[in-house]
Amino acid sequence: MMPFARKPRVAFFDFACCEGCQLSILELDEKLFDLLAHVEVVAWREVMSEISEEYDIAFCEGSITRQQDIERIKTIRDKAEIVVSLGTCASISCHNALKNKWAMNELLALVYSEYGEHIDTIPARPIADVVNVDYQILGCPVSLPEFETVFKRILTRQAYTPSNQPVCVECKRNDILCVHEKGMVCLGPVTRCGCNAICTAFGDACRGCRGLIDDANLEAPVRALFGEKLHPIMAEVARNNRLTGKEIIARFSLYNNTGRVGKGEESSDGTA
Ligand code: SF4
Ligand code: SF4
Ligand code: SF4
């Protein structure tokens, strides 16, 4: 790939989401100015009112949830040289895809009553399901150090692939006390790292916001809590939380609904 001949024009776009990833980026404060010095921002609804239809790099946040979103993301793809899926909504659909567990007409009737037929909605999909994406940034919201890294990689024409290691690796690397020891249920063993284990570093459990690692063994955490020979720590976790296997699986499906998680409602050991 050729380096950029001039300052690349950057645009931020949002689809169905809370826009929390874009807001988080603003928390980079002075570092953000350092990054933006290398580009020309031409569209960013969170921070400016001007909008240009000409751009080189498109950061796209949110999921595709309406027919008109499909046309819009295709137009963005046609115009931008580089498309980035920004955050878990854009990359793997996040909470938006919870609605995919029900038939759309049932949901529309439940939420909008007789007005449902006028609502434009389709099953939620990540952006990469509709167009080719050049870079993917996970997280709900995105990790700021990772955003900085990807931004610099884009400007220097280097590839970036999210890590396929679990959050536990970052806990070990940073000497973080495992929250299982405090009796909490943690999804870190099957969740893709890259956030520097920020939740467990502050004493909370990982909720799985960066999505599952490839080939995640979902049976293992359920077996660890409901198997016959429980490790004493896991026995304590199971006692403290009183979760069923189905509830453990439900926790996985909070962020992971476009893969196999969330499609099977029952736990592998049949616990419900
Ligand atoms: S990934 Fe999370 S923080 Fe980002 S837009 Fe979606 S819901 Fe909001
Ligand atoms: S706190 Fe969670 S992510 Fe960290 S080592 Fe324990 S299980 Fe793994
Ligand atoms: S620790 Fe887990 S929930 Fe927290 S930011 Fe990292 S992946 Fe997301």
Whether residue 13 is found in the same domain as residue 146: yes
pLDDT value of residue 235:
74
Whether residue 230 is found in the same domain as residue 106: no
Whether residue 151 is found in the same domain as residue 174: no
Check: CB of residue 144 under 8 Å from CB of residue 25.
yes
- The ligand with the least distance to the CA atom of 14 is 1
Whether residue 109 is found in the same domain as residue 189: no
Whether residue 145 is found in the same domain as residue 239: no
For the beta carbon of residue 162, count every other beta carbon within 10 angstroms: 19
The token pair at 126 is: 């990540």
Confidence tier at 1 by pLDDT (50, 70, 90): low
Check: CB of residue 245 under 8 Å from CB of residue 270.
yes
pLDDT value of residue 268:
32
Indicate whether 3 belongs to any domain. no
Indicate whether 215 belongs to any domain. yes
- Which is the closest atom of ligand 2 to the Cα of 172? 5
Q: What is the DSSP pairing of strand 40-43 with strand 82-86?
A: unpaired
Indicate whether 109 belongs to any domain. yes
Whether residue 62 is found in the same domain as residue 147: yes
Indicate whether 130 belongs to any domain. yes
Whether residue 178 is found in the same domain as residue 114: no
Distance between Cα 138 and ligand 1 center (Å): 10
pTM, two decimal places: 0.88
Whether residue 189 is found in the same domain as residue 146: no
pLDDT value of residue 2:
61
Whether residue 138 is found in the same domain as residue 210: no
Whether residue 27 is found in the same domain as residue 150: yes
Q: What is the DSSP letter of 214?
A: T
Number of domains the chain contains:
2
What does each C-alpha distance from 3 to 101, 113, 155 come to in angstroms? 44, 53, 8
Residue % of the chain over a pLDDT of 70: 93
Rounded Cα distance between 111 and 115, Å, is 9
Q: Tell me, using a 6 A CB cutoff, whether residue 205 lines ligand 3.
A: no
Indicate whether 179 belongs to any domain. yes
Indicate whether 80 belongs to any domain. yes
- Residue 56: domain span: 9-155
**Confidence check: pLDDT of 223 > 80:** no
Whether residue 134 is found in the same domain as residue 185: no
Helix, strand, or coil here: 20?
A: helix
What's the whole-number average pLDDT of the chain?
Answer: 88
- Residue pointed to by tokens 């690692």: 213
User: In the listed set 155, 188, 215, which residue is the last one of a domain according to the structure?
Assistant: 155
Q: Is the peptide bond before 141 cis (omega within 30 degrees of 0)?
A: yes
Indicate whether 232 belongs to any domain. yes
Distance between Cα 164 and ligand 3 center (Å): 14
Read off the pLDDT of residues 158-214 as tens digits, 9 standing for 90 and up: 999 999 999 999 999 999 999 988 888 889 998 999 999 999 999 999 999 999 899
Task: Name the residue at shortest CA distance from atom 5 of ligand 2.
Answer: 168
Indicate whether 221 belongs to any domain. yes
Mean pLDDT value across residues 6-12: 96
Task: Measure CA of the first residue to CA of the last residue in the chain; give whole Å.
Answer: 52
Read off the pLDDT of residues 70-107 as tens digits, 9 standing for 90 and up: 999 999 999 999 999 999 999 999 899 988 888 888 88
User: In the listed set 110, 134, 155, which residue is the last one of a domain according to the structure?
Assistant: 155
Q: What is the DSSP pairing of strand 57-61 with strand 9-14?
A: parallel
